[in-house]
Structure 1
């Protein structure tokens, strides 16, 4: 299992290729590809490379999927016997990132697999049959 520990938004996050993660809002547009170079650790299944503090030559390729807001958190403050009550809500602004690949010294350690589903496989066969019919 290939994974990396990255730092973004002042937080550390364990990421794996092919999975998505919600991080604090980034200023990039959706469908933008980014290269994160704040990599603290890279594990390729056999050995781990630990940085001091960062791993040299390590990057994580991500794609910005969407911007969203987290669920609402209610902050309620009350002082007993004083008739003082404050109710506030907060929704954190987030960016959803899809991890495409983890690179170490220019070599891709883990890349998101592009498995074909049954539906796409069937549609590929249908296209091939149509191509044969057109060719005849």
Structure 2
């Protein structure tokens, strides 16, 4: 059984027991989070597709940790203009473990 959910402006295909890193969620480590924006739930040949969301479907997850991704380096340059700009960015994330999918 798997589901397609939306969190943090992105869509993820999740299965029970899977660990994923999503955009930062304001929840304490060890707490349970309910993700109710479910686009699709599939259980073998039984597929439910929402328009846009599946009514009554939810995914429960446990927050494992918070952290920051690796640094992304941004370098801008204009040739022959003596212009160079260096910048870096580290995006925050929350690691969650999917504990259950209910349709």
Superposition TM-score tier, normalisation by shorter sequence:
over 0.9
Deviation digits for residues 37-81 of structure 1, max 9, x if unmatched? 100000011211001111011110100110011111000001111
- Rounded to whole Å, the distance in 1 between the matches of 2:33 and 2:93 is 16
> Unaligned 5+ residue runs, structure 1?
105-136
> Quick one: higher RCO (CA 8 Å, sep 6+), 1 or 2?
2
Match of 1:84 in 2: 83
**Number of equivalences:** 103
- Rounded to whole Å, the distance in 2 between the matches of 1:26 and 1:52 is 25
**Structure 1 segments (4+ residues) deviating >2 Å:** none
Q: SS at 2:34's partner residue? A: strand
- Rounded to whole Å, the distance in 1 between the matches of 2:8 and 2:79 is 37
- Normalized per residue, the structure richer in strand is 2
Q: SS at 2:99's partner residue? A: strand
Match of 2:28 in 1: 29
- Normalized per residue, the structure richer in helix is 1
Match of 1:5 in 2: 4
- Rounded to whole Å, the distance in 2 between the matches of 1:35 and 1:93 is 20
> Unaligned 5+ residue runs, structure 2?
none
- Rounded to whole Å, the distance in 2 between the matches of 1:25 and 1:37 is 16
Q: TM-score, normalised by structure 1?
A: 0.74
Q: CA RMSD in A?
A: 0.7
Q: Who wins on radius of gyration, i.e. which is larger?
A: 1
Q: TM-score, normalised by structure 2?
A: 0.97
